[in-house]
Amino acid sequence: MAEVTSPGCKRGIPGNVEMPLAVERLPNGNTLIADAGDEAGFGSEIVEVDPVGNIVWNYNDGLQFAHSGRRLKNGNTLITDTTNNRLIEVTPDKKIVINSDEWGSGTGKLSDGSHLHYPNEAFELEDRTFLVTDRNNDRCIQLDRKGKVIWAFEKELQHPHNANALPSGNILIADSDGNRILEINRKKEVIWSYGDGSIETLWWPRSGIRLENGNTLVTDSKNHRIIEVSPHGKPVWTFQTEHVDKFYITQATKEGTFLIACTGHHQVIEVDRAGNIVWLFRNFRRPAPIFARLTNGFFKELGNDGNPLHWVLARRLSEGGGKVVWENNHKPSSCPGLEFDRPGTLFLQQDIAVKPGSTYRIGGDIKTIDVKGTACLMVDFFDSYGASLYRDITLMPSGEFFTGTNDWVHDIFEVRVPPRATYAELRVSINNSGKVFVRNIMMNLI
């Protein structure tokens, strides 16, 4: 019998903000939040919240891992529907008036023959064109409302997540995997930058905005801080949480406070310059149950969806690909695997209650076929607000890493539960393409 320590809730409940990525304060005082949804890929939506936390508008039709929602002057909302590789504009009564899928005679292609690939951010410029941060194409581009590429910056960028235009016409780009912020002019010259590439200075910055005082406020995501930098590159102010929390987008309000989308604690906070949280929106309820111990590690029980019972197929980061497959001729019973065909990451995972300081041995048998990236067993730990305790996936405890084709091998590793952890997430993980099969997964206190 499965013993559940903490039940999960239904997935995809409209209004439940699982992973706020972008945020902006609207002229009417409400706050617009882009919610990427839960780990299984449900519940992505754009929500508008009033100052006391009522949801006054939302849009969720078909969105997959939407990264931004921006309210336009005409009252419509511009949405980057990231995993669907499209940009849409919707009216207040939820009619789509622009859909990039229809560009290029219905192919979704832009005028240069390319297709948006994992767009993360889009703003409307003064001339009603769009400035789009096209993450997986490593570029930011200006498009007219029919998909014509008017301007593009595609030099030297590594997975940029946000580009926004300054009053001067220059553009501030968060070059996330380059660990820097760039200001470029229309001639595509870099006229200012911050970040020396080291993770101490900036680690995966997700956005940069220019403040009225001329300084630049950077959302330094994996360092769980926002940092204000002078034009000379001197840090002059920082807000950093004690807990690890990947901040995604920060916006400055008219009042001089900062709105931050916090993916770790599943909330939006508004902080003042003294470091006070002056407003907060959080209505997150975790969909995944937490089990008292690893359950169905031998994959004998099947769920209604054909996946192993009590295991979650986490497709949020899988860029639209990935599924559970079964090796049916395996004796004595079938064993599950993950099949994946693109960049990104796919997990089969389960949450298990743990006690800080205790040590667990985790292991099982694992087999891989043509894995281009890496497949492994790994474990992530979370605090009581549901934030991972790790700043980066490579810091999480894991078993052996497998690439290519490997027949069944035993894999064992030990982990000590870090302070503040309330539950562990045990994962079978694969990134890039290939197949990984697992059997006899165990996790035991030692």
Partner 1 sequence: MALDKLVSEKRKRQCAKLIEISKDIVRQAFDKFKLEELGITWTGGKDSGLTLWIIRQVCQEKGIPLPKTMIIGEGDEFEEIEQFVERIKKEWNVPLEVCRNEDVLKAANDMLNAPVKVKDLNERNRTELKRIGFDGDEFPFEAESYVGNHLMKTVVFNQFLERNRIKGIFQGLRWDEHPARFDDPYFEYKEEGHLMPEHTRIRPILHFTEKDLWDTYAAFKIPYCPLYERGYRSLGAKTTSLISVEGVPAWDQDLENTEERAGRRQDKEKAMERMRQLGYM
| 279 versus 413: smaller Cβ distance to partner 1 | 413
Q: How far is the CB of 41 from partner 1 (least distance, A)?
A: 14
| 48 versus 138: smaller Cβ distance to partner 1 | 138
Choose which of 363, 434, 436, 438 interacts with partner 1 (CB under 8 A).
Answer: 363
Q: How far is the CB of 440 from partner 1 (least distance, A)?
A: 6
Which of 395, 407, 398, 302 has its CA nearest to residue 347?
A: 398
**CA 266 – CA 391 distance, rounded (Å):** 15
Choose which of 9, 277, 302, 393 interacts with partner 1 (CB under 8 A).
Answer: 393
Q: How far is the CB of 402 from partner 1 (least distance, A)?
A: 6
Which of 170, 167, 251 has its CA nearest to residue 207?
A: 251
Do 70 and 123 form a contact (C-beta atoms < 8 A)?
A: yes
Does position 52 interact with partner 1 (CB under 8 A)? The reply is: no
Return the DSSP state at 418: P
Q: How far is CA 203 from CA 65, 81, 127, 283, 398, in A?
A: 22, 25, 34, 28, 22
Does position 415 interact with partner 1 (CB under 8 A)? The reply is: yes
Retrieve residue 230's tokens.
Answer: 């002078």
Angle at 93 between CA 90 and CA 98, to 5 degrees: 20
Does position 117 interact with partner 1 (CB under 8 A)? The reply is: no
Does position 50 interact with partner 1 (CB under 8 A)? The reply is: no
Q: How far is the CB of 279 from partner 1 (least distance, A)?
A: 28
**CA 308 – CA 324 distance, rounded (Å):** 9
Bridge partner list, 288: none
User: Residue 133 burial (CB < 10 Å; 0-12/13-18/19+)?
Assistant: buried
**CA 410 – CA 119 distance, rounded (Å):** 40
Q: How far is the CB of 364 from partner 1 (least distance, A)?
A: 6
Choose which of 114, 307, 406, 433 interacts with partner 1 (CB under 8 A).
Answer: 406
Q: How far is the CB of 416 from partner 1 (least distance, A)?
A: 6
Does position 336 interact with partner 1 (CB under 8 A)? The reply is: no
Contact stretch for partner 1 (CB under 8 A) within 6-14, 139-147, 190-198, 397-405: 397-405
Does position 416 interact with partner 1 (CB under 8 A)? The reply is: yes
Looking at 154-189, which runs of residues are DSSP E strands?
Answer: 160-165, 171-175, 180-184
Does position 304 interact with partner 1 (CB under 8 A)? The reply is: no
Which of 19, 140, 114 has its CA nearest to residue 68?
A: 19
Retrieve residue 91's tokens.
Answer: 């009216």
Q: Helix, strand or coil for residue 330?
A: coil
| 31 versus 219: smaller Cβ distance to partner 1 | 219
Binding-site size for partner 1 (CB under 8 A) equals 47
| 54 versus 405: smaller Cβ distance to partner 1 | 405
| 273 versus 416: smaller Cβ distance to partner 1 | 416
Q: How far is the CB of 431 from partner 1 (least distance, A)?
A: 6
**CA 110 – CA 108 distance, rounded (Å):** 7
Retrieve residue 440's tokens.
Answer: 């006899």
* Strand 258-262, strand 290-291: pairing: unpaired
Angle at 21 between CA 189 and CA 70, to 5 degrees: 70
**CA 66 – CA 357 distance, rounded (Å):** 37
Choose which of 208, 344, 386, 434 interacts with partner 1 (CB under 8 A).
Answer: 344
Q: How far is CA 29 from CA 20, 49, 53, in A?
A: 18, 9, 12
Contact stretch for partner 1 (CB under 8 A) within 87-95, 146-154, 235-243, 400-408: 400-408
| 26 versus 412: smaller Cβ distance to partner 1 | 412
Mark 166-205 with x for binding to partner 1 (rule: CB under 8 A) and - for no binding: ----------xx--------------------------x-
Does position 345 interact with partner 1 (CB under 8 A)? The reply is: yes
Backbone phi and psi for residue 50, each to the nearest 5 degrees, phi listed first:
-85, 175
- The footprint of partner 1 on residues 123-162 (CB under 8 A) is 159
> What's the distance, CA 2 to chain centroid?
30
Does position 361 interact with partner 1 (CB under 8 A)? The reply is: yes
Does position 22 interact with partner 1 (CB under 8 A)? The reply is: no
Do 55 and 48 form a contact (C-beta atoms < 8 A)?
A: yes
Q: How far is the CB of 168 from partner 1 (least distance, A)?
A: 29
Does position 400 interact with partner 1 (CB under 8 A)? The reply is: yes
Retrieve residue 169's tokens.
Answer: 């016409």
Binding interface with partner 1 (CB under 8 A)? 159, 176-177, 204, 293-294, 297-298, 300, 317, 332, 343-345, 359, 361, 363-365, 373-374, 376, 388, 392-394, 397, 400-403, 406, 409-410, 412-416, 431-432, 440, 442-446
